[in-house]
Amino acid sequence: MWRFLIRRLLLLLPVMLGILIVTFVLVRLIPGDPCKAMLGERATEEKCNAFRERFGLNDAIPIQFVRYFGSVLQGDFGTSIKNGRPVTDVLAERLPMTMELTFFATLFATAFGIALGVISAVRHNTGVDVGAMVFANIGVSMPVFWLGLMLAYIFALALKGTPFQLPPSGRLTAGTDLPSLLKVWGMEDAQGIQRFVVLLISNSVLLNSLIQGRLDVFADALRHLILPAAAVGTISLAIIARMTRGAMLDALTQDYVRVARAKGLAERAVILKHTFRNALVPIVTIIGLQVGGLLSGAVLTETVFSLPGVGTQIVDAIIARDYPVVQAFTVLIAIIFVVVNLIVDLSYAYLNPRIRVS
């Protein structure tokens, strides 16, 4: 198992390099001059040259890449062309929102999806199965941004004045004040990785409010997350439920299940120990694949619910041709996603010993 783990970790290196190359090349291929995009269409050639000189855009592409690669290794993503702020600050500001949203959406989708799928498979061809699968089929068919809009309409307008009313947009109720942890801990001068980590925790409203003991703010932030997380998670919930049901039905037809029943095991043990464990490989695969979908969903949903996350930022940055920001966000999201995929692969090996032997 250890050799397998080390080999997989080594294999990550070329993938990381690939991500950096793809992002770098794609961003450079975006048509249009970043100078004109930043300084306006009427910027003089002189001004543009100074601009390109300042951001190193006059050098050959390979040189730009080597320089970029070197600074990324040192945790430096450059400064935003648009507003001159360090990109790490922008990252630390936007990432926590998207991570919170994706985390709760994943939790929602996995918990309900697996439960729904297992129940459906065990009660195959009953009313419960049909009902669950009708729900799953409808859930998987909805565009996430449409579901978001509809949820906002239902819970903010139609249910207004009832206990079920939920806020349709924003991260916190307007006027709520939550000081930055940099200030609270007196670390305003902190630099580098320390500053980045503190900013990351500070900008996660949920963590920050818990640390400061502001349970009212925590509850408010959770309330603002319910609709977006449900919107983002519903498609994945349905996909996981379908996959779980399919894998369980497959596993239920296997001989070892018949043997388990024949030797008199309780049905509960047959389902959980013999069937579910063997159905887990495809289920884990599909959950791993969902994380990308959930992050994409977060991009669209943030637009619908006006949330200050990665999604809204990356679309803005692409439109503004803010190279460093686009690069940093894409690389970071890609790395998160690769690590999740690694965990999926490792769990394959854990779940099916035949794979790791080969």
Residues of this chain that interact with another protein (CB under 8 A) are 11, 14-15, 18-19, 22-23, 26-27, 29-31, 133, 137-138, 140-147, 149-150, 152-153, 156-157, 235, 239, 242-243, 246, 249-250, 253, 281-282, 285, 289, 291-293, 295-297, 299-300, 303-304, 314-315, 318, 326, 330, 333-335, 337-338, 341, 348, 352, 354-355, 358
Tokens of 96: 């926590």
Nearest-angstrom CA–CA distance, 156 and 25:
43
Nearer of residues 221 and 243 to another protein, judged by Cβ? 243
Tokens of 236: 């994945």
Nearest alpha-carbon partner for 117 in 288, 283, 290, 255: 283
Nearer of residues 200 and 239 to another protein, judged by Cβ? 239
Nearer of residues 26 and 193 to another protein, judged by Cβ? 26
Q: Which residues pair with 86 in a beta bridge?
A: 79
Nearer of residues 68 and 218 to another protein, judged by Cβ? 68
Nearest-angstrom CA–CA distance, 250 and 231:
30
Please state, in angstroms and as integers, the Cα–Cα distance from residue 58 to each residue in 37, 40, 150, following that order: 16, 19, 48
CB 11 to another protein: min, Å:
7
Q: Which residues pair with 79 in a beta bridge?
A: 86
Nearer of residues 178 and 294 to another protein, judged by Cβ? 294
CB 334 to another protein: min, Å:
4
> Mapped to the 3 state alphabet, what secondary structure does 171-191 carry?
CCCCCCCCCCHHHHCCCCCCC
86: Cβ contacts below 8 Å, ≥ 6 apart: 77, 78, 79, 80
Nearer of residues 181 and 239 to another protein, judged by Cβ? 239
CB 8 to another protein: min, Å:
11
CB 152 to another protein: min, Å:
7
Nearer of residues 50 and 158 to another protein, judged by Cβ? 158
Helix axes 323-351, 277-305, angle to 10 degrees: 160
CB 126 to another protein: min, Å:
13
CB 178 to another protein: min, Å:
28
CB 251 to another protein: min, Å:
11
Tokens of 177: 């004040």
Helix axes 215-252, 277-305, angle to 10 degrees: 140
CA angle 317/321/326 to nearest 5° reads 50
